[in-house]
Structure 1
Amino acid sequence: MEKLDHVTVSILTAACIDEPMLLTLSREDLRDLFPGPEHFLTRKRVWSVIHPEEDHPVTQTPETYSSPRVVPTARPQSPDAKKSQQKTLQLPSPPEYVVYTDSELEQCRKSYYDLAHVSREHECVMSKELRCRLVRNTITSMVSLLRASEGQMERYPSKNEITAMAKIIMEYYPMLKDNDASVKHESINAKLLKRLQNMKTPVKKQGPTPDRGRPKRRLTDLSPTDKEADDEDADCSSSSGASNLLLSPASSSDASTSSDRVSPQIQARLYRRLQEMCTKPKPNQEDVSQLLDLEFDSRRAFIDSDSLKEENRASHILDAYPCFKELHHVLGELRRILDPHNNKFVSQIKQRWQEFCSRVEFYGVSKKAMNPPMTMDKTEAHLALMKALPTLFPSPAHPPKKMGTAADAFLHVLKPTEDPDAVLQKRSLSCPVVMFDGCKCVIAVGNLPVTTFDKEKLGEAMIYVMAYFYTLHLTYPKCVATLLSVIQTEVLQDAIHERDTTSYYKKALAEWYAFIGK
C-alpha cells in the first residue's frame, strides 16, 4: 500500500483490509468503500494498484490453430492465463465467432484466478446451470452469426468449427478442462455437438402435393386428395386380413347416416395415423381424441360387428385401440355414442351420478339394505353403496355359484391373502369389474386387466364400468341387468326400448320413482 496516500490507507485499515485482501477487491467493493464522485480519482488509484497491468496494454501475437485462427482481445491477467483472454474465433472466411460471457460467468472466472494465486484453482467448479447456459448461448450465437453472414437458413457450424470453439472456451474458462482426459476440451466439445444436434430440424422434402405447407398437427385437415385416397385404398387392399377387418369397414352402412360421412379410404388412413400416434411414449392426447372423433364410424362398425365373440371381444378391441386403456378416452367414447355434440357430457354424467347416489343411500337405509353412511369414511361408504345396489334393484337371475353375490359381477374387494391374477383367472363372466385392494383400483374386463385409478375416484367406479360396457359393446350380465339398466336410463339418460324392458326392471323403477316422488 506504499503507493496510496495516508487517508486511503486509513480507510482501508478501518475496514480491516490488508494487502492480500486488497488484491481481491472489485469495482463494486471500491464504490462501497469510497462512494461519491469526489472519490473517483481515489478509486482509480486503488484500482491501478490492484491491476497494474491494465495501465500498460501489450499487443500479443495471435496464436494459430490447425483450422481457425484466434485473435486475442487483451493482455492476460497472470502468467497462468495467457490464453484465457482469447474469446474471438476468426475463421479464414466470415463470420467471427465470440465466446459467450455474462456477469455470473465472469465472476466464476475471476474466482478461478483468485484461487490460482494460492494454487487452489482445482477447487473452482462451474455449476451445471452456468455450463448449460454457456453451451446453449454459444451455439445459438454461432448459428445466428453464420446464417446472418451467409444468408442460408440451413447452414450450421461444421465439426471443425465446433472443435475450435471448444478449445477457445476451455482456455477462456480453464475450470472446464478435463484433467483425466488426453484431450482437455473433449467434454465441452461433446456438449457443444450435442446441443447443435438438438437444434437441427429435418428439412421437409417438398413433393408435388400443394398442401405440404400445412401444419402437421392440424388434424382437422387430414382428408387426402383423390389421388392420395386411391393410394390409401390400394394399401389397405394389400394389407393383412386382420388389418382389412379394422381398416376397411365397407359394411358399416348402418353406423352413420349423415351426409358428410368420411369415406372408408380416409377412415383407414385415420386409423393408421391413430396407431402410429399411440405407439409413441407420450402421445398428444388431444390429437388422439380428435382422431377418435374422425374415425368413429369405422371403429363402431368393427366393434359392433358379429365377427367378435363376447369372450374375446375386449382383447381384440384393446389390441386394435390401445388408447381405450385410458379412462378419459373411454369416457370420451361414451360421449361420442350417446351425445356427441355435448362437450359437457362427462361432467353432467358425474353430477347426475352423485345426485343418484345421495338418493340411493337414503333408499338403501329405508329398505334396510345398508347401514347409515354417517359412521363410515368415504371409501367404506362407496363400497357399501356398490354392494347394496343389486339388492335395491334386483334381477331375476342368480349369480354364478362360484361368484358369490351379484355385486361381485362388477366389484371385488381383494383380501390380503388373495392374488389378483388368480382371482381374474377364476372369473366366469367377461364383463368389466373393479378390483380394490385397499390402496388402488384396477378395472379388468373378463380375465384381462385394463387400467388403474386412485381410490379417491372409487365413487365414480360405476361410471367407468358403464363406459367400458358401451365402448366394448358388451352385454349386461343377467344377475345385474336390472341395476345396469336403471343406471343406463337414470344416469346416462339412454332410453331402453319398451319391448326390451322386463317386469323386474319396471317394478324396480316404479319403486324407485315412488321413493323419490317422481
Structure 2
Amino acid sequence: MDKLDDVSIATLRAANIGEDLLPSLSRDDIKDLFPGPENFLRRRAIWLVVNKDEKVDTAPEIQQSPPTGGSNLSKEEASTSKFLTMSNPQYIVFTDSELEQVRRTYFEQKRLGTEHSVALSNELLCRLIRNTMTNMISIARATEDCRYPTKHEVNAMAKRLVEYYPMIKGQSSNSEWEHVAKKLMKRLSNVRSPRKAKVPPSKKRRQDTEVSSDISTTDDVYDGDSSASTIILEHSPISPMGIPVLDLSTRASTPLQSQDTSDETSGSVDFMDSLKPQARHYKTLQEMFKSKKPNKAAITHLLNLEFESRRCFITSDVLKEQDRPTKILEAYPCFRELDHVLDELQRVIQPTNSQYISEMKSRWEAFYSKVQFYGVMKKAMKPPKTLNGVAHVTAVFRALPLLFPSSTMPPKKLGLSSEALFHVLTTSEDPDGFLRQRQLSCPVVLVSKDNCMIAVGNMPVTTFNTERFNEGLLYLMAYYYALHLTYPKCISTLLSVLQTEILQDSIHEQDMTPSYKKAIGEWKSFIE
C-alpha cells in the first residue's frame, strides 16, 4: 500500500481493508470504493498493486485463414492469442496440424455441450510441452546469452497454454494450469547448463579472427541447452567455415544506411548496436541447425528477427556471386527447404503480408491457365489435350521463353532457352553427371520419374514431389531472391515478367529492356 496516495489509503482503512485483504479485491469492489471518473487513476493504481504478480501483456493476434474443409472457429477459440509478450522476449505457443485439429474438435463439441469427451493424448501433450519449452529456451537465449525462462515466464506460458488448449485443464478449479507449469519446469530442469570452454591460464587469449578449437562435438540432439559454436558476427567479414559475418563496410547496400553523410559516425554506432541482438539470434540458429529435426516455427521466428543482418550479408560485395549460393546454404541450411525459401521471398517483397504466398500461388494459377491459350494463339505450343501431367507442364514451360523472348540467344551447347529453367532426365542420364557438365550457374529444376530436384549451378539443393512440378518456376524465383542471384540473359525477359506479374515486385527502369516492354505489352493486350 506504500504506492497508493493518502486518499486511497484512508478510504481503504475506513472500509477495514488492510494489506491482507487487498489482493482479494475485484474490479467491482474497487469501483464501489472509488466511484466516478475523477477516481479513475486511483482505481488503476490499486488494480496494478492487486495484480502486480500477474501482469501479462499480449501481443496482437495473428490473423489466420480458416482451415479448408472445416467450419469457422468460434469467437472463444479465435480470441486466444498464440503470442505471449513478457518484459523483454516474445514467446509463442507451439502448435501443429494435429494439435489444431484436437483444438477445433474441442470447440465444436463445446458448442454442443459435450466438450468433456475431447482429451489430448499423452503423446500430443508431451510434444506440446517439449516443443514449447524448446521454443522458450531458444528465444530467451536469443535475447540474452545463457539466459533461460524464469519461473514467472513459465507460469505465464502455462496459463496461456491452458487458455489456448482448454482440454488440458486440471480437474481442480484452483489448479487448472499448475500441472502444466510443473511439466514445463521439469522439462526445463532436464536441460543442461551451457558450458564455457576452459582455457589454461598460462596460454594467451586467442585473437578474435581465430576459431576456437574447444567447440563441443557431441552428437546429442540439440534441445536448446548448449552454447557451443559461438560465432562473433561483429568482427571478421568471413569466417573460415563460411559463417555469415557482417562488416560495417557493407551497410551502404542496406536500408540501415544513414541518409546524411555528416552523421556517418553516429550511424555506424547505431548500426552496430542494431546488429548485436541479431548476432545472438544467428548463434541460436546455428545451434538449432545441429538438431536432426529442428523446430520449424522457432527457426522461422528467429529468421524474422535476424532478417536485416542476413540480407546485409547476402547482398553485400563480401561474397562473389559464383560462391554466394554455397556460402549462404552453408550458413543457413534451412534454405534447403522450400517452406523457408518461400518465407524468405515473402520477407523480401511484402514482409507485412502474411497471406503473400497463398496470393502469389493464386496469381500463378490464373497466369498458368491463360498462358496456355496465349501459347496456342502465338503457335508456340499445341492445344492442350489434358490439364495435368508432367508432359503437359513440360510443354507449357518450354513455350514460356518463346512467348516472352529475350534479345540474347542461349549458348549453343545449352540448346533451348527453357533448359535454363528445367531439364527432363532420360532413363540413361545421371543427375550428378548432368550437373557436372552444366554450364549455367542459375537455379534449375531437374525432372525424373520419382521426383523433382532443384539445383543451383552444379549443386543439388532440395527435392519435391512431381505433383508440384507446375509450381517449379515459383520455387526457382524464390531461390533467385533468397540467394540474390542475377537472371541469365537468355531468359531474363521471362523472369522479369514473372517478377512483375506473379511476384508483384516492381522492376527498375534500367532493367525494362525493349524485349521486356514488347513482351509485357503483348501479354497485357491479350488478357485485356
Task: Output the TM-score relative to the length of structure 1.
Answer: 0.54
Which residue of 1 is the match for residue 158 of structure 2?
none
Residues 299-347 of structure 1 show CA distances to partners (whole Å, capped at 9, x for unaligned) of 1111111222222211111011100000000000000000001110100
Given candidates 307, 319, 344, the residue that maps to 1:333 is 344
Write the distance in 1 (CA, Å) between the matches of 2:194 and 2:518.
68
Distance change (3 Å), C-alpha of 1:432 and 1:204: closer
Distance change (3 Å), C-alpha of 1:434 and 1:238: closer
Deviation, 1:375, is 4.1
Given candidates 383, 387, 394, the residue that maps to 1:372 is 383
Distance change (3 Å), C-alpha of 1:411 and 1:233: closer
Deviation, 1:499, is 2.3
Deviation, 1:266, is 1.5
Which residue of 2 is the match for residue 317 of structure 1?
328
Deviation, 1:237, is 3.9
| Aligned counterparts, 1:428-467, within 5 A | 428-467=439-478
Which residue of 2 is the match for residue 293 of structure 1?
304
Residues 405-427 of structure 1 show CA distances to partners (whole Å, capped at 9, x for unaligned) of 00000100001111111110111
Deviation, 1:478, is 0.4
Which residue of 2 is the match for residue 279 of structure 1?
290
Which residue of 1 is the match for residue 254 of structure 2?
255
Gaps of 5+ in 2: 1-185, 196-221, 225-229, 259-269
Which residue of 1 is the match for residue 413 of structure 2?
402
| Other structure's SS at 1:459 match | helix
Deviation, 1:371, is 1.3
Write the distance in 1 (CA, Å) between the matches of 2:520 and 2:232.
53
Q: Is the 8 A contact 2:253 2:316 kept in 1?
A: no
Which residue of 1 is the match for residue 514 of structure 2?
503
Given candidates 364, 372, 375, the residue that maps to 1:361 is 372
The residue type equivalent to 1:439 in the other structure is D
| Other structure's SS at 1:439 match | coil
Which residue of 2 is the match for residue 307 of structure 1?
318
Which residue of 2 is the match for residue 229 of structure 1?
none
Which residue of 2 is the match for residue 202 of structure 1?
190
Write the distance in 2 (CA, Å) between the matches of 1:278 and 1:354.
34
Write the distance in 2 (CA, Å) between the matches of 1:235 and 1:505.
41
Write the distance in 2 (CA, Å) between the matches of 1:246 and 1:396.
37
Distance change (3 Å), C-alpha of 1:395 and 1:277: same
The residue type equivalent to 1:282 in the other structure is K
Distance change (3 Å), C-alpha of 1:416 and 1:497: same
Deviation, 1:239, is 10
Q: Is the 8 A contact 1:365 1:371 kept in 2?
A: yes
Q: Is the 8 A contact 1:331 1:346 kept in 2?
A: yes
Number of residues of Structure 1 aligned to a counterpart in Structure 2: 300
The residue type equivalent to 1:478 in the other structure is K
| Other structure's SS at 2:322 match | helix
Deviation, 1:256, is 3.0
Write the distance in 2 (CA, Å) between the matches of 1:237 and 1:465.
33
The residue type equivalent to 2:431 in the other structure is P
* CA-based RMSD: 3.1
Write the distance in 2 (CA, Å) between the matches of 1:391 and 1:429.
19
Q: Is the 8 A contact 1:382 1:458 kept in 2?
A: yes
Distance change (3 Å), C-alpha of 1:241 and 1:440: closer
Write the distance in 2 (CA, Å) between the matches of 1:233 and 1:326.
23
Deviation, 1:381, is 1.6
Give identity over the alignment, percent: 49
| Other structure's SS at 2:445 match | strand
Write the distance in 2 (CA, Å) between the matches of 1:326 and 1:511.
36
Write the distance in 2 (CA, Å) between the matches of 1:368 and 1:283.
49
Write the distance in 2 (CA, Å) between the matches of 1:199 and 1:475.
47
| Other structure's SS at 1:311 match | coil
Which residue of 1 is the match for residue 353 of structure 2?
342
| Other structure's SS at 1:328 match | helix
Write the distance in 2 (CA, Å) between the matches of 1:296 and 1:234.
17
Distance change (3 Å), C-alpha of 1:513 and 1:263: same
Residues 67-99 of structure 1 show CA distances to partners (whole Å, capped at 9, x for unaligned) of xxxxxxxxxxxxxxxxxxxxxxxxxxxxxxxxx
Distance change (3 Å), C-alpha of 1:500 and 1:233: same
Q: Bigger relative contact order, structure 1 or 2, given CA contacts below 8 A and separation 6+?
A: 2
Residues 222-242 of structure 1 show CA distances to partners (whole Å, capped at 9, x for unaligned) of xxxxxxxxxx99785499744
Task: Output the TM-score relative to the length of structure 2.
Answer: 0.53
Distance change (3 Å), C-alpha of 1:415 and 1:355: same
Q: Is the 8 A contact 1:247 1:271 kept in 2?
A: no
Write the distance in 2 (CA, Å) between the matches of 1:366 and 1:248.
51
The ranges of structure 1 where at least 4 consecutive aligned residues each deviate by more than 6 angstroms after the TM superposition are 203-207, 232-235, 258-262
Distance change (3 Å), C-alpha of 1:264 and 1:354: same
Gaps of 5+ in 1: 1-197, 208-215, 219-231
* Rg larger in structure: 1
Write the distance in 1 (CA, Å) between the matches of 2:233 and 2:421.
42
Write the distance in 2 (CA, Å) between the matches of 1:350 and 1:267.
31
Which residue of 1 is the match for residue 504 of structure 2?
493
| Other structure's SS at 1:412 match | strand
| Aligned counterparts, 1:29-178, within 5 A | none
Write the distance in 2 (CA, Å) between the matches of 1:206 and 1:312.
34
| Other structure's SS at 2:426 match | coil
Which residue of 1 is the match for residue 276 of structure 2?
265
Write the distance in 2 (CA, Å) between the matches of 1:235 and 1:363.
50
Write the distance in 2 (CA, Å) between the matches of 1:234 and 1:475.
30
| Other structure's SS at 2:507 match | coil
Write the distance in 1 (CA, Å) between the matches of 2:191 and 2:376.
69
Which residue of 2 is the match for residue 390 of structure 1?
401
| Other structure's SS at 2:244 match | helix
